[in-house]
Amino acid sequence: MRIIEIYLNENQSHSCTRNIFYAGRKYDSNNTAVKFTNKNLFIDGWNFYLKVDMDDEVTEIPLLQNLFIIGENLTQTAGVLTCTLIGRNSDDNSTKTFEPFRLKIEDVEYDQDDKEQQPMDPNMKLLYEQLINLKQELQQKELATLPAGGNKDQVLQKASNIDYDFAWKDMQGTATEMSDDELDNMWEEVFE
């Protein structure tokens, strides 16, 4: 992988003499990365994003720590990408906006209509993994709200079979799972 290194100053500028960097060719995927080398700016509490502007279409992509991998979603069109690093502090809602730089995507002479399926952009994969973790966390909290002894799959199956909203009824018991008969009885009591 080719690495473009950019040093960020405390005054929110970069110390590069040139303002445009060669970032690869059209349809490249994960071949080039931008690495911001001043690691002391990337501290806990700050989330960094790269705002990418190409042909008046703006995309904001999260960074993997101090690294931004140029995925296929940014190389679908040849041209110049204008990139601005943005840092947001989750503690006090402050924002840092750094001096923009440009990445050039070179055109190619072939069309890629019959290209194979590309893997997920690594920058977006981070968000996807965070969403999966959040979903699992919410499911665990949801399990805690089930009636005592209830099995999540049993209750959800029953709910989908009847196909209308139902109210949870508080049940006491030490069993780890309810039988179908017990669940049917509970169901009837709730809707009487």
Instruction: Give the separation between CA 42 and CA 47, rounded to whole angstroms.
Output: 8
pLDDT digits (tens, 9 = 90+) for 15-57: 566 678 888 888 888 888 888 888 777 788 888 889 999 888 8
Note the pLDDT of residue 172. 44
Return the domain boundaries, the chain.
Answer: 2-107, 146-190
**Of residues 59 and 140, more confidently modeled:** 59
Domain 2-107 has CATH 2.60.40.3350: yes
Note the pLDDT of residue 51. 92
pLDDT digits (tens, 9 = 90+) for 113-144: 655 666 777 778 888 888 898 888 888 777 66
Asked whether the predicted pLDDT for residue 190 surpasses 80, the reply is no
Angle of the 152-162 helix axis to the 180-190 helix axis, nearest 10 = 50
Note the pLDDT of residue 156. 60
Note the pLDDT of residue 99. 85
Average pLDDT, the chain: 76
Residue 123 neighbours by CB distance under 10 Å: 20
Question: Tokens 């049993």 appear where?
Answer: 154
The separation between the first and the last C-alpha atoms of the chain, rounded to the nearest angstrom, is 66
